[in-house]
Amino acid sequence: MKLRRRTVLGAVGASLLAAPALAQEYPNKPLKMIVPYPPGGGTDGLGRITAQFLSEKLGQQIVIQNIGGASSTIGSDTVRRAEPDGYTILFNASLFVLGKTVVPSCPYDPQTDFRAIAQAGEAPLVLLANNNVPGSDYAAVMAAVTKDPKKFFVAISSGGSAGHIATLAWLKRIGIPLDQILYKGTAPANNDLMSGSVQFFMDPWTALLPLATSGRAKGLFVTSKERTPLAPNIPTSAEVGLKDFNLSSWYGVWAPKDTPDAVVNKLAAGMAEVSKDKGFIEKTTSLGIVPTARGPKEFGAFIKQEIETNTALLKEANFKPE
């Protein structure tokens, strides 16, 4: 019995000593960051910028691997099944955390099968209107909508997206049940907005602001707390009477669920440094991304709240994922 007890105590002591040693040694080889979308999109672009600066902070190369398909679940599941040693991490967008709510075949639970490392940034949204919609500002446009709401349709880029959630929240706020048209991506939704097949479209401003600044659509409001220098003439949601309507698309870094605390803390510390790096701030700001600095605990709590709020909105709207 004594021998057994000493053995157990010895093992516990060894594990306690191993944690700081692991933190000191990690990382001692290149990392792989999985972006679960094809190259060239917004998530891929920010992922590459994040990997560049995180690599500098960690002192190791980070190789981007794009594994797209099935609404990002194929690439994300690759990370879930990876060795939980911190050398395979995930860079994904906010849609990821809704899991089966938006992708019934999703093979994982985003909260329990992954460890949240850090939020990397967020992109506020903009509400656009087709140029043929009556009115030159939000108030005038809404007066026209209120008069005959059946004439107006709202585009949704994809089910469960940040734009979808924001649109549902907006329609709930204004109390007008406009018909929604679900698309497979931002591009086809933009095309129909330009042609007038739909009259409104709300999505991250990274993709939509050029339509407003070039005069191809009306920018009615942005969901940031302050106006953006990228389109200073577009008012904020608060300025048009939508108080505390500050929704956004956001992006973050995750690791497999059994990744040790020492590794998670090292990655989180690196991301905290990235969020304060002037070069990172300049690059992301030029793209319309607002850098954020939520670490594991705060990011996890934020994700939990996002899931509860967004799932409730989708349920209330009777959203049925395909």
Per-residue model confidence as pLDDT tens for the chain (322 residues): 343 444 444 444 444 444 555 556 999 999 999 999 999 888 999 999 999 999 999 999 999 999 999 889 999 999 999 999 999 999 999 999 999 999 999 999 999 999 999 999 999 999 999 999 999 999 999 999 999 999 999 999 999 999 999 999 999 999 999 999 999 889 999 999 999 999 999 999 998 999 999 999 999 999 999 999 999 999 999 999 999 999 999 999 999 999 999 999 999 999 999 999 999 999 999 989 999 989 999 999 999 999 999 999 999 999 988 7
Q: What pLDDT shows up at residue 105?
A: 95
Cite the residue boundaries of each domain of the chain with CATH code 3.40.190.10: 124-240
For 182, counting Cβ atoms within 10 Å of its Cβ (0-12 exposed, 13-18 middle, 19+ buried), the class is middle
Res 7: pLDDT: 43
Q: Would you call the peptide bond into 27 cis, given omega within 30 degrees of 0 as the criterion?
A: yes
Ranges of H-type helices in the chain: 2-25, 42-58, 73-80, 138-147, 162-174, 186-195, 205-213, 261-276, 278-286, 296-316
Nearest Cα residue to 127 out of 233, 207, 219: 219
Residue 293 has what pLDDT? 87
pLDDT of the residue at 132: 97
- Please name which of 213, 243, 56, 253 lies closest in space to residue 126, comparing C-alpha atoms: 213
Measure the CA–CA gap between 243 and 237, rounded to whole angstroms.
7
What Å distances lie between residue 305 and 5, 132, 236, 248, CA to CA?
44, 38, 24, 14
Angstrom CA distances, 106 to 36, 154, 160, 193, 322, stand at: 13, 27, 13, 31, 12
Residue with the two structure tokens 């701030």: 281
Q: 2-123+248-316: what fold?
A: D-Maltodextrin-Binding Protein; domain 2 (3.40.190)
Residue 211 identity: L
CATH number for the segment(s) 124-240: 3.40.190.10
Of 79, 96, 93, 84, nearest in space to 33 by CA: 79
> Structure tokens of 107?
């093979």
Chain region(s) in the chain for CATH 3.40.190.150:
2-123+248-316
